[in-house]
Amino acid sequence: MRPVSPGCGDALRLLAAATNAKAVVEIGTGTGVSGLYLLQGMRPDGVLTTIDTETDRQQAARQAFRAAGFAANRARLIPGPALEVLPRLADGGYDMMFCDGDRRDYPECLEEALRLLRPGGLVCFSGVFAEGRTMATAAPPASVLRLRELLRAIRENRELIPALLPVGDGLLCAARR
């Protein structure tokens, strides 16, 4: 399990602040590194909803948020697979979505983001460089094929304004018009 890099974390904190985010959904809580950056950028009354299949990691994240001084009600930690949890979240209820779970789920996460984000909301996908393999041609793994599918879907969607930020292992962001 790899947390976001400091550069990626800074970008997430900036984007959460720039969108004046009150409700953020994160896929891939891990031990809470990206969550801490997001909470720092969000409004002081903002709530981070964060999803992970591993409850022990979420427990560590909960402790990290508390140790950093964030009240317990600032983070809602939901255990389970992203594609089972996301459909339960409210339409148009989120300012920002950060995806850092299973790369093979990214195309479906984009579909969910289009439903969950308010107009002007932002979706960000971590790890889109796939350590340099995204455009490699020889026998790409399923995760790389799914990343290419994601890139195509974002490029072709007129509702989205994308930018690929060269931080960490590539942070692909798109604002919903």
Ligand X SMILES: C[S@@+](CC[C@H](N)C(=O)[O-])C[C@H]1O[C@@H](n2cnc3c(N)ncnc32)[C@H](O)[C@@H]1O
Q: Which residues bind ligand X (CB under 6 A)?
A: 1-4, 27-28, 30-34, 51-54, 57, 81-82, 100-102, 105
Rounded Cα distance between 160 and 147, Å, is: 17
Q: Considering beta carbons, is residue 53 or 59 the nearer one to ligand X?
A: 53
Q: 71-75: long-range contacts (C-beta < 8 A, 24 or more apart)?
A: 73/47, 74/39, 74/46, 74/47, 74/48, 75/35, 75/39, 75/47, 75/48, 75/49, 75/50
What is the Cα gyration radius of the chain? 15
Task: Provide the minimum distance between the beta carbon of 49 and ligand X in the complex, in angstroms, as a whole number.
Answer: 12
Name the closest residue to ligand X (Cβ).
30
Q: How far is the CB of 27 from ligand X (least distance, A)?
A: 6
CB of 84 or CB of 158, closer to ligand X: 84
Comparing CB distances to ligand X, the nearer of 83 and 153 is 83
To ligand X, the closest distance from the beta carbon of 40 in angstroms equals 13
